[in-house]
Amino acid sequence: VRPYRNLYNCMNVKIHGIRPEDTANAPDFPEVWAEMVNYILECPVLVAHNSVFDMGCIRSSLTMFGIEKPEARVFCSLRAARHLYDFSCNKLDYLCKVFDIPQRTHHRAGDDAEVCARLFLREIRDSGGAMFDMNYCVSML
């Protein structure tokens, strides 16, 4: 997705390594949103690690482009990890190492989505399926 005006914060470039030249010809948010909104609406739950951050970015983009905000359930694997486990760190890459969840490139959307899904399944198993009964799902947007 090409960010608005294809501008990047240098701190974000340090984190994910994506630069303006990488997204110069990429579709913008409204185009990508139009492709994925129906999928989002059909999903019983979306999963994100630190969903507060991710949903905040999506909400901001929707507002910026005047796009209606849909309702969706969002499960926060970070919030669940803090409840379920007694680790000093609950970052996605750390939890993947602890649980032997294979990773490719940390902070790349597709790779992080896959390992987050695997962590989500682990949390469901470790909680005996109780995670959905415990307030780890919140309305999005």
- What is the overall mean pLDDT for the chain? 88
The percent of residues in the chain predicted with pLDDT above 90, rounded, is 53
pTM greater than 0.85 (yes/no): no
pLDDT bucket at 132, cuts 50 / 70 / 90: low
- The span from the CA of 56 to the CA of 62, in Å, is 10
Task: Answer whether 96's CB lies under 8 Å from 119's CB.
Answer: yes
Lowest mean pLDDT among 31-40, 64-73, 103-112: 103-112
Closest CA to 139 of 78, 72, 76: 72
Tens digits of residue pLDDT in 16-63: 888 999 999 999 999 999 999 999 889 888 899 999 888 998 999 999
| pLDDT at residue 12 is higher than 60 | yes
Task: Answer whether 72's CB lies under 8 Å from 140's CB.
Answer: yes
Lowest mean pLDDT among 3-7, 13-17, 31-35: 13-17
- Give, in order, the Cα–Cα distances in Å from 133 to each of 59, 77, 81, 138: 25, 14, 15, 11
pLDDT bucket at 134, cuts 50 / 70 / 90: low
